[in-house]
Amino acid sequence: MGGGTVSAPLEELTTWDADWTGLRVVVTGIGLSGFSAADTLIELGARVVVVDAGDTDENRAKADTLRIVGAADILLGADAVAGLPRVDGSVPDLVVTSPGFRPTHPVLAAAAEAGIPVWGDVELAWRVRIREGRRTAQWLAITGTNGKTTTVTMTESMLRAAGLRAIAAGNVGTPILDAIRDPEGYDAIAVELSSFQLHWTHSISPLASVCLNIAEDHVDWHGSYEAYMADKAKIYENTQVACIYNAEQYETEHMVEEADVVEGCRAVGFTTGVPAVSMVGVVEGLLVDRAFIEQRKDSAAELAAMSDLGEYAPRHMVANALAAAALVRAFGVEPAAVRDGLRAYSPGNHRIQPVARLNDILWVNDSKATNPHAAAASLAAFSSVVWIAGGLSKGVSYDNLVAEHRGRFRAVVLIGADSAELQAALAQHAPDVPVIHALEEQTGEQPAAPVTSAEEIMVRAVAAAAAVAEPGDTVLMAPAAASMDQFTSYAHRGEAFIEAVAGYVGEQQAPGQAQTPKEP
């Protein structure tokens, strides 16, 4: 650690009330997590420099706020992130990074070369969670390639149904440091952790943890699939009570086997089939627990009925519910609260969201399916699909996805600035399936006009899908790719789809026809 006015070395900074005064910190990024990290460090008395490549009105406004609340320098623009800045003229003692910054980023690479520790906002939150005069929340940590947000919000709902003060935080939207600094405190925090966030964690010790699943994703950020899996596996390190794994995917069980956990921590599986001892699973339409009861060798406790998940519950939704149930059962929540939490739970938008039904054709928005694994879960829920797909691939392969689900495709409508990898997989594994390029379609004998907006992209995709869909089909927008090549976010992409479908249905609908499906 660099010299200066720091009163305590980093290894002693493990509570809010430790002496953080004078710690020189560089914070990368001024988005949600970066802003909360800088704000927290300023409150703790640290000397902070924030760097962000975006010199925007929004970032300037955030910079002004940070300057008002305390000692901070904010550097914006490309030059600000070209290397590691000094803090008060000296080498920083610590870098706290936002999840979007790759380890190879010039700021982080310079910190590594200089031997300066790098934390994420999650590591900082863990170290300041204990504060005199406030309750200290237990952490239930959730990661996985897909299903994180669903599981973390289900977990929150179950905890609240048990009468606990709980919140979903982390990658789900509420920065973990905002939850930690809540004046009332929480009994439990359901913490969604991305692989990016886990990469920069070092000492967190959750009460219970789960990796829901693992599939190729974010290879461009991590450098390899193996490195991605290694960061996901960090979720289990130092777990206190229960490491929960997917019994239908050996990789997650292997992660538990390799984890260094607190003595006495148990391995608990979840399965959508009949559970073995020390698992939760499904028996005759019931979600049951054979892990957290004394008589687990020859009996099971009923947690909920499949119907408590709603009329529409695809297999992966059941798996997410079981993972959430295992987390809260590890915390000590009674079975009735699992059931009540599921009944009260409302799925978020853009996750297998039925948005319209017309002429016996169902239109479904799953813009949250930003990788092949997530899209596969969506496709598996339907038998005949017009699939709208494509976008920023993040370096993954589409071969297995297309080969596994080619029998479901009536047609594929491609969006995305460059869908060459997906198109190649379709040509190899589903050569007889019609592939429509939404942005290249002909209207009559004239070429389509140039696309002028993200919304127009989706209008054309919806029109192309409608032209080939038949009664009994599902038009599924599950892109299997990130959105940033054409949209600002997966939510923007999903809203564009919803609006385009509404426009199409409004044009086609005759009096008496149903426009929207039953609530899922």
Q: Residue 171: which residues within 8 A CB-CB, separation 6 or more?
A: 99, 148, 149, 192, 193, 194, 197
Using the Cα atoms of residue 212, residue 214, residue 220 and residue 224 in order, give the sign of their dihedral.
positive
User: Is CATH 1.20.120.1230 correct for 19-116?
Assistant: no
Quick check: 41 and 64 in contact, CB under 8 A? no
Residue 149 among known ligand-binding residues: yes
Options 3.90.190.20, 1.10.10.60, 3.30.930.10, 3.40.50.11900; which CATH number does 353-508 get?
A: 3.90.190.20
Residue 29 among known ligand-binding residues: no
* Domain positions in the chain: 19-116, 124-344, 353-508
Quick check: 92 and 24 in contact, CB under 8 A? yes
Each residue's pLDDT tens digit in the chain (520 positions)? 344 444 478 999 999 999 999 999 999 999 999 999 999 999 999 999 999 999 999 999 999 999 998 878 999 999 999 999 999 999 999 999 998 899 999 999 999 999 999 999 999 999 999 999 999 999 999 999 888 989 999 999 999 999 999 999 998 778 999 999 999 999 999 999 999 999 999 999 999 999 999 987 767 777 788 999 999 999 999 999 999 999 999 999 999 999 999 999 999 999 999 999 999 999 999 999 999 999 888 889 999 999 998 766 778 889 999 999 999 999 999 999 999 999 999 776 777 788 888 999 999 999 988 888 889 888 988 889 999 999 888 778 899 999 999 999 999 999 988 888 999 999 999 999 999 998 764 444 444 555 557 888 899 999 999 999 999 999 999 999 988 888 888 889 999 999 999 999 888 764 444 444 433 3
DSSP 8-class letter at 17: T
Q: Which segments of 271-314 are extended strands (E)?
A: 279-283, 286-289, 301-305
Topology match between the domains 19-116 and 124-344:
no
Q: Closest by alpha carbon to 3, among 71, 87, 70, 119?
A: 87
Residue 144 among known ligand-binding residues: yes
Residue 234 among known ligand-binding residues: no
Three-state secondary structure readout of 367-379: CCCCCHHHHHHHH
Rounded (10°) CA dihedral 253, 257, 262, 268: 30
Distances (CA, A) of 212 to 196, 244, 441: 16, 8, 39
Residue 472 among known ligand-binding residues: no
Q: Residue 418: which residues within 8 A CB-CB, separation 6 or more?
A: 485
Quick check: 503 and 399 in contact, CB under 8 A? no
Q: 0.75 exceeded by the pTM?
A: yes
Q: Domain 124-344 is classified in which CATH homologous superfamily?
A: Mur-like, catalytic domain (3.40.1190.10)
Residue 148 among known ligand-binding residues: yes
Q: Three-state SS for 305? A: strand
